[in-house]
Each structure stands twice: as structure tokens, then as C-alpha cells.
Amino acid sequence: MSKYTVMQKKEEVVRNWYEIDAEGKVLGKLATEIAVRLMGKHKPSYTPHVDGGDFVIITNADKIAVTGNKLLDKKYYRHSGYPGGLRVRSLEEMLQKQPTEVIRKAVERMLPKNKLGSQMINRLRLFTGSEHTHTAQKPERIEL
């Protein structure tokens, strides 16, 4: 039995590619699973201060499901910085205009709020259709 805790080094990180079909999946549960994969928490070599996560490809991002009245009640806020510059969109509007941003924002808010989180979100690839451009990486398909 070892009495030392093994810390992963950034040179030792092995990154895998995963593909998830988002059609019919609930937004929060999907975002949680994606965030875990991007952080690398599913690996036994997880180290909090090392970016040891994997690449995640999401297809059919526009066909996610939500529970309750979230389509109308959930709001996305952004501000231009000028007086009266608050812009508000409902989840329904976001899914029509920017369907990939809904998943990106949900995942990004579950990641660390530091430089590591910024690096992690860059490994997320979102596509609205069932096809993606990363077939050469041979992603492993995950069913949730």
C-alpha cells in the first residue's frame, strides 16, 4: 500500500474523444455529464489543479429537452454596458436563434471560474445536426 498521493502532471495527460447525442436529453443532466468529462473527474488520475479532461462532441444540440415551464420561464441576460442596455431572451428564443449557446452556457457555468475552466470549455464541440467534422479522431460514443 502506497502512502503517497499521486499527482498527475500536465505532460502525462491522455485526452480521449467522446461523442454524445443530445436528442431528447434533459439540459441539466446532459450539461453535468459533459462538465465531468471536460474536467476529467471520471478518471482515476483526476488532479484538481491539472487540466486532465477529454474532448466532448455534442450532436443534435438543437433537440434537447427541458422539464417544467423552462422554455418560457428561463431567461438569459446580457448587457451592452450602456444605460438601458439589458437584453433578455427566453430559453425558447435561444433555442431558435443560438441552440448551441444554450448547452455551452450550461456547461461553462459548471466548470471552474479560472484559467483552467477557460481551457476546458475550448474542448467542447457543438453541432446542431447529427453529423460532425471530427470523424478522424474516432470519438467513442456515449449513451446517457
Tens digit of pLDDT for each residue in 48-88? 999 999 999 999 999 999 999 999 999 999 999 999 999 99
What is the pLDDT, as a whole number, of residue 144?
Answer: 85
Q: Are 46 and 40 in contact (CB under 8 A)?
A: yes
- With a threshold of 0.95, does the pTM exceed it? no
Q: Give the C-alpha separation, 118 to 115, whole Å.
A: 5
Q: Is the dihedral of CA 89, 95, 100, 102 positive or negative?
A: positive
Report CA 130 to chain centroid distance, whole Å.
17
